[in-house]
Structure 1
């Protein structure tokens, strides 16, 4: 080991990382019916690098008069492009749900935010119309795994509202959460219609991806409805209209 490596090791050993829980401001987008008219509440999870407002545009066009859609946004935002040489701000930003760094803390924060957002929406609907809405969930790309984590936590904790079970869970063009056990998802999906959507030209949905997805779902003993469309890694109006 070189002298430089020795010094770097000693410096790293002298550093102590600390954690502090702080209050955060979360944001989410809504579209569709007002609470008093809402029979069905969709909770939709965006993909990596997307913002809730942008992700919501397709749902806003297609939601029925009795369907309300809410799109929570990942708590971490970042610039989508490399830094500019002139030092000016970059134009495009996006959000992400989790990274490998500080994962457990970020997951706890994200789940807390999701329970608060959905609980607030369900309470507003319950107060406005006297009934708990039918809750349906859609995850796109990175949002598939995050939606699974939330659905599993809903089943485990009995939130967001007693009687508000997840009726449908759509897994759109994303891999299954590796940190949620098959037993947990099997329990969470009891009584839930599970639907898988993948575009036939999705560059991320390789043959290996599809086989892995199918193998794990089969191992859970969960029946799924499968949909495909002519296109890549995106939402599709025709399929989404059928699901909504």
Structure 2
């Protein structure tokens, strides 16, 4: 068999979801990247207890959709796989550029970037690649991309509050993996990182989100 894999470029359309209304009273804009198997519009439920007058939430949508188990009736989505990771990452970066162009952050608002599970990889890569200044960076129950270095985040210095959050009973994080992720986040951001374990499995911790949003 003489097969050849070729590459083309074309324009695509994707959605994103928002919660609340951006007004002159808005204090915080959240850019929240969901995990594998989620859809952006449903991911917003984890932020619905935040004060709607002060918090505006933007939830981008992972592009690769599929039917999920057990009955294959519901739809989930994925950001990246090990297949063509570099080019797929660039596609997502350009998509995020388009979202921020459609939803520019006013100067009077503080930007909070959150990645959950698989969403950590795209959120952190975007902050690094676009030198995105943000008030907070929240890493929740996900792996930090191995290629990222302290130089990628040197522009943030001490202006950004970084939090690493994980469940102590997370079925995807054994002791070795937790130790690695802690070491990695400290290498990237220094000792000022806030590490927040919680009693729970691989899940979005809404209580911690509310605590951070109200602090």
Is TM (by shorter chain) over 0.5?
yes
- Number of positions where the alignment pairs a residue of Structure 1 with one of Structure 2: 212
Counterparts of 1:143 and 1:73 in 2: how far apart (Å)? 10
Cα contact 1:151–1:188 (8 A) shared by 2: no
Matches within 5 A, 1:18-37: 18-37=6-25
* 1:224 and 2:193 matched: yes
Residues 209 and 154 (structure 1), Cα distance of their counterparts in 2 relative to 1, 3 Å cut: same
Residues 191 and 104 (structure 1), Cα distance of their counterparts in 2 relative to 1, 3 Å cut: same
CA-CA distance at 1:40 after TM superposition: 1.2
Counterparts of 2:33 and 2:210 in 1: how far apart (Å)? 17
| SS at 2:114 equivalent | strand
* 1:39 and 2:7 matched: no
Corresponding residue of 1:142: 118
Larger Rg: 1
Counterparts of 2:22 and 2:184 in 1: how far apart (Å)? 38
CA-CA distance at 1:184 after TM superposition: 1.1
CA-CA distance at 1:18 after TM superposition: 1.6
CA-CA distance at 1:234 after TM superposition: 0.9
Counterparts of 1:154 and 1:106 in 2: how far apart (Å)? 16
Residues 35 and 21 (structure 1), Cα distance of their counterparts in 2 relative to 1, 3 Å cut: farther
Point out where structure 1 has 5 or more consecutive residues left out of the alignment: 1-10, 85-89, 160-164
Q: Select which of 35, 39, 51 maps to 1:51.
A: 39
Residues 109 and 218 (structure 1), Cα distance of their counterparts in 2 relative to 1, 3 Å cut: same
| Cα offsets for 1:155-200 (capped at 9, x unmatched) | 1xxx6xxxxx211000001111123234213445652110011122
Q: Tell me whether 90-99 or 27-36 shows the greater mean CA deviation.
A: 27-36
Counterparts of 1:75 and 1:46 in 2: how far apart (Å)? 12
CA-CA distance at 1:239 after TM superposition: 0.9
Point out where structure 2 has 5 or more consecutive residues left out of the alignment: none
User: TM-score, normalization: structure 1?
Assistant: 0.80
CA-CA distance at 1:220 after TM superposition: 3.2
Task: Provide the aligned C-alpha RMSD in A.
Answer: 2.0
| SS at 2:49 equivalent | helix
Counterparts of 2:206 and 2:43 in 1: how far apart (Å)? 13
Counterparts of 1:214 and 1:61 in 2: how far apart (Å)? 29
Residues 107 and 59 (structure 1), Cα distance of their counterparts in 2 relative to 1, 3 Å cut: same
User: TM-score, normalization: structure 2?
Assistant: 0.90
Cα contact 1:40–1:66 (8 A) shared by 2: yes
CA-CA distance at 1:238 after TM superposition: 1.7
Q: Select which of 105, 124, 132 maps to 2:87.
A: 105
| Cα offsets for 1:98-152 (capped at 9, x unmatched) | 1111222211110000111023211xx64xxxx3521111110111111110100
Counterparts of 2:52 and 2:103 in 1: how far apart (Å)? 17
Cα contact 1:45–1:138 (8 A) shared by 2: yes
Cα contact 1:152–1:188 (8 A) shared by 2: no
Cα contact 2:121–2:144 (8 A) shared by 1: yes
